[in-house]
């Protein structure tokens, strides 16, 4: 069943007719030619399809395009300015691109997101259980989705926030330091 | 995926009416489970009724005490809500222990409650499954059962409920507000999900067309503490092998209010009523916690691949209660 929808994609209003079954991912890749978001597992497990939907990262393979009429969508292509490189891709702070999807820019946050920032809760139960004392190591290891101050963005916290993205470079150790470096610079910039 | 008609009604009654007219119609929340099941051919609705904007997306404080959570509130917002974090930390912890940041941003409160089991046989339309196709048999009983139930299962179904959030809500005595074709009603979360019995196709006590509009959490004793612990096969982004949500209030070394729910062990969040009854009014000691955990798990009937869940559930339960008493400075 075809329906007409409007999306604001990377700042541009786009109107298109899609079958109701079309996911946001397929609409953008197949209809609008935005192939930066990838179709990995297509079941919400790998995170390769991650986009910012109204300022928040989502698995676009599980979002029906018709259900997001009028939404503001930013793909990886939308992070690049008209000229030059997106700041995280340039020197002197290299390899910071993943953090954009882990930690949306303040100007990409949606209404109600004010004050939302790094946070933490829900320390992994396995690590806690492994300690044998039932005590949480700290009130940490969460995601970008819980507002809280004073959470240390340490390696465990960064890894927890990355865990929605399974990628072949998951074993590439420098991603975690790169995110830490960028987050520190971002924090200093504010 | 089968073709379907998409509807976005303007009010909850219209949404309920749309389902009443069509037994194959279904509600759509965030879609993180339903859209996946539609791709797999497990869910085959003719009509998809989008309710993601029909109900509340916030937490409100109720005048008579407690809070009301909008059914469409995203899991990420609920986890981050200051009132929830302060007064019901077990719920915030459970939410953040589930799924990934991307999924929590889409998933709704009601959708989380109504998500289907991740039993691999249920999700594979080429294998028999009594939940998916009643009477076809259970492939899991003689299959791979690491993630399956050890409590309250039947010969027809050994699936587990996958939600972390629902386990915390069970321990909090949450009450689901439902709009049905015959009017509104209230269902305690502990009665929302069912044990499989001989009708494993029915996950919940809801009728077709019942729309969850909100979830109410009653006030806790002001001195009560709560905590969620989850054990899984990897450190993040995995379903629970065993989880424990507990609310505990201890005065002068004696247990007062105590609510415990187990996840990953049954077709529904498992309220540990045997353990609660043993603990209430008794000493808050490790020995008492251990005895209560042992008693609760005596009813366990593990399958070949999941016998480990029985001692694991006992140990995590003792560990969580120990954590709650130690940080409260009581029970020593």
A31: buried, middle or exposed (CB in 10 Å: 19+, 13-18, 0-12)?
middle
How far is B97 from chain A, CA to nearest CA, in Å? 6
For the residues B299-328, what does the mean pLDDT come to? 94
Domain assignment present for residue B36? The answer is yes
Domain assignment present for residue B163? The answer is no
Question: How many structural domains compose chain B?
Answer: 2
Give the model's confidence band at A173: pLDDT under 50 very low, under 70 low, under 90 confident, else very high.
confident
Half-sphere exposure of residue B230: CA atoms within 13 angstroms, side-chain side? 32
CB contact under 8 A, B77 and A145: yes
Conformational region of residue B259, where left means phi above 0, alpha means psi within -120 to 50, and beta covers everything else: beta
- Point out which residues pair with B69 in neighbouring strands: B59, B215
Q: B residues 10-29 near A, CB within 8 Å?
A: 28
For the residues B282-306, what does the mean pLDDT come to? 98
Residues in chain A with CB shorter than 8 Å from the CB of B29 are: none
Give the model's confidence band at A151: pLDDT under 50 very low, under 70 low, under 90 confident, else very high.
low
For the residues A179-183, what does the mean pLDDT come to? 84
Domain assignment present for residue B256? The answer is yes
A110: buried, middle or exposed (CB in 10 Å: 19+, 13-18, 0-12)?
middle
At residue A128, the pLDDT reads: 29
Domain assignment present for residue B323? The answer is yes
CB contact under 8 A, A67 and B101: no
At residue A33, the pLDDT reads: 97
Domain assignment present for residue B238? The answer is yes
* Calpha distance B29→B75 (Å, rounded): 12
CA angle A26, A29, A30 (to 5 degrees): 75
Question: What number is the ipTM of this complex?
Answer: 0.94
Pairing of strands B211-217, B175-180: antiparallel
At residue A136, the pLDDT reads: 34
Which residue in chain B is spatially nearest to A125 when comparing CA positions? B230
Which residue in chain A is spatially nearest to B95 when comparing CA positions? A122
Q: Does B112 touch chain A (CB under 8 A)?
A: no
Residues in chain B with CB shorter than 8 Å from the CB of A50 are: 102
For residue B6, give the nearest of A3, A128, A147 by CB distance: A3
At residue B264, the pLDDT reads: 98
For the residues B262-274, what does the mean pLDDT come to? 98
Domain assignment present for residue B14? The answer is yes
Query: Residue A78 carries which DSSP code?
Result: G
CB contact under 8 A, A66 and B95: no
Q: What is the pLDDT of residues A100-147, one digit of tens each?
A: 344 333 333 333 333 333 322 222 222 323 333 333 333 333 444 444
CB contact under 8 A, A57 and B80: no
Q: Does B106 touch chain A (CB under 8 A)?
A: yes
Q: At residue B261, does pLDDT exceed 80?
A: yes
At residue A180, the pLDDT reads: 86
Average pLDDT, chain B: 96
Which residue in chain A is spatially nearest to B37 when comparing CA positions? A43
Q: Which residues make Cβ contacts (< 8 Å) with residue A17, sequence separation at least 6?
A: A2, A3, A4, A5
Give the E-state strand segments of chain A in sequence order. 2-9, 12-19, 50-53, 56-59, 72-74
Q: Does A19 touch chain B (CB under 8 A)?
A: yes
**Order of all β-strands in the sheet with A12-19:** A12-19, A2-9, A72-74, A50-53, A56-59
- Point out which residues pair with A19 in neighbouring strands: A2
CB contact under 8 A, B100 and A102: no
**Chain B contact probe: residue of A48, A59, A113, A151 with most B CBs at under 10 A:** A59
Q: At residue B237, does pLDDT exceed 90?
A: yes
How far is B87 from chain A, CA to nearest CA, in Å? 14
For residue A58, give the nearest of B5, B89, B106 by CB distance: B106
Give the model's confidence band at A182: pLDDT under 50 very low, under 70 low, under 90 confident, else very high.
confident
Residues in chain B with CB shorter than 8 Å from the CB of A163 are: 100, 235-237
How far is A133 from chain B, CA to nearest CA, in Å? 6
Q: Does A155 touch chain B (CB under 8 A)?
A: no
From B33, B50, B67, give the residue that closes a domain. B50
Q: Does B80 touch chain A (CB under 8 A)?
A: yes
CB contact under 8 A, A121 and B92: yes
Greater model confidence, A182 or A109: A182
CATH of the domain at B292: 3.30.390.50
Give the model's confidence band at B327: pLDDT under 50 very low, under 70 low, under 90 confident, else very high.
low
* Calpha distance B15→B9 (Å, rounded): 6
Of A187, A114, A118, residue with least CA distance to A156: A118
Phi, psi of B212 (to 5 degrees): -75, 125
Residues in chain A with CB shorter than 8 Å from the CB of B5 are: 1, 20
Q: Which residues make Cβ contacts (< 8 Å) with residue A131, sequence separation at least 6?
A: A137
Q: At residue B228, does pLDDT exceed 80?
A: yes
Domain assignment present for residue B24? The answer is yes
CATH of the domain at B34: 3.30.43.10
How far is A83 from chain B, CA to nearest CA, in Å? 29
CB contact under 8 A, B103 and A42: no
Look up the domain containing B36 and give its range: 5-50
At residue B192, the pLDDT reads: 98
Q: What is the pLDDT of residues A20-67, one digit of tens each?
A: 999 999 999 999 999 999 999 999 999 999 999 999 999 999 999 999
Question: Three-state SS for A34?
Answer: coil
Q: At residue B275, does pLDDT exceed 70?
A: yes
Greater model confidence, A98 or B76: B76
CB contact under 8 A, A164 and B102: yes
Domains, in order of start, for chain A: 2-79 (3.10.20.30), 87-189 (no CATH)
At residue B2, the pLDDT reads: 96
Q: Does B329 touch chain A (CB under 8 A)?
A: no
Q: Does B205 touch chain A (CB under 8 A)?
A: no
At residue A87, the pLDDT reads: 57
CB contact under 8 A, A126 and B3: no
Domain assignment present for residue B121? The answer is no
CB contact under 8 A, B100 and A143: yes
């Amino acid at each position: 069943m075809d329906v007409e929808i409007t999306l604001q994609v990377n700042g541009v209003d786009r109107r298109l007719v899609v079958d109701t079954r079309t996911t946001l991912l397929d609409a953008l890749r197949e209809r609008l030619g935005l192939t930066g978001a990838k179709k990995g597992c297509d079941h919400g497990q790998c995170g390769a399809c991650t986009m910012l939907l109204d300022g928040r990262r989502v698995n676009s393979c599980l979002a029906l395009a018709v259900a997001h009429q009028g939404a503001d969508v930013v793909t990886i292509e939308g992070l690049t300015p008209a000229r030059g490189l997106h700041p995280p891709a340039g020197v002197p702070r290299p390899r910071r691109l993943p953090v954009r999807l882990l930690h949306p820019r303040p100007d990409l946050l949606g209404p109600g997101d004010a004050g939302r920032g790094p946070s933490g809760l829900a320390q992994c139960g396995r690590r806690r259980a492994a300690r044998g004392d039932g005590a949480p190591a700290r009130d940490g290891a969460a995601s970008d989705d819980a507002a809280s101050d004073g959470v240390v963005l340490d390696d465990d916290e960064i890894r927890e926030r990355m865990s929605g993205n399974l990628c072949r470079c998951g074993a590439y150790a420098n991603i975690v330091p790169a995110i830490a470096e960028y987050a520190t610079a971002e924090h200093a910039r504010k | 995926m089968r073709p379907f008609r998409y509807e976005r009604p303007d009010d909850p009654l219209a949404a309920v009416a749309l389902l009443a007219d069509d037994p194959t119609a279904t509600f759509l929340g965030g879609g993180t489970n339903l859209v996946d099941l539609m791709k797999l051919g497990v869910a085959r609705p003719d009509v998809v009724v989008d309710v993601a904007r029909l109900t509340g997306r916030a937490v409100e404080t109720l005048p008579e005490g407690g809070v009301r959570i909008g059914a469409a509130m995203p899991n990420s917002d609920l986890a981050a809500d200051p009132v929830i974090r302060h007064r019901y930390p077990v719920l915030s912890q459970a939410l953040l222990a589930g799924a990934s940041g991307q999924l929590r941003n889409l998933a709704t409160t009601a959708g989380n409650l109504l998500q289907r089991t991740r039993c691999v046989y249920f999700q594979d339309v080429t294998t028999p499954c009594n939940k998916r196709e009643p009477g076809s048999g259970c492939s899991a009983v003689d299959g791979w059962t690491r993630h399956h139930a050890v409590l309250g299962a039947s010969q027809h179904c050994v699936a587990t409920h996958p939600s972390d959030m629902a386990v915390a809500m069970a321990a909090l005595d949450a009450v689901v507000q439902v709009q049905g074709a015959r009017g509104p009603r209230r269902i305690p979360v502990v009665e929302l999900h069912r044990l499989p019995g001989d009708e494993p196709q029915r996950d919940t006590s809801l009728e077709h067309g019942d729309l969850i509009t909100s979830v109410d959490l009653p006030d806790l004793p002001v001195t009560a503490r709560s905590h969620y612990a989850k054990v899984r096969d990897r450190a993040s982004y995995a379903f629970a092998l065993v989880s424990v949500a507990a609310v505990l209030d201890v005065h002068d070394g004696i247990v007062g209010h105590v609510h415990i729910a187990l996840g990953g062990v049954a077709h529904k969040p498992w309220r540990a009523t045997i353990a609660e009854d043993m603990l209430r009014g008794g000493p808050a000691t490790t020995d008492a916690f251990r005895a209560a955990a042992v008693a609760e798990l005596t009813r366990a009937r593990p399958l070949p691949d999941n016998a480990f869940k029985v001692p694991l559930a006992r140990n995590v339960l003792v560990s969580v209660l120990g954590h709650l008493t130690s940080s409260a400075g009581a029970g020593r």
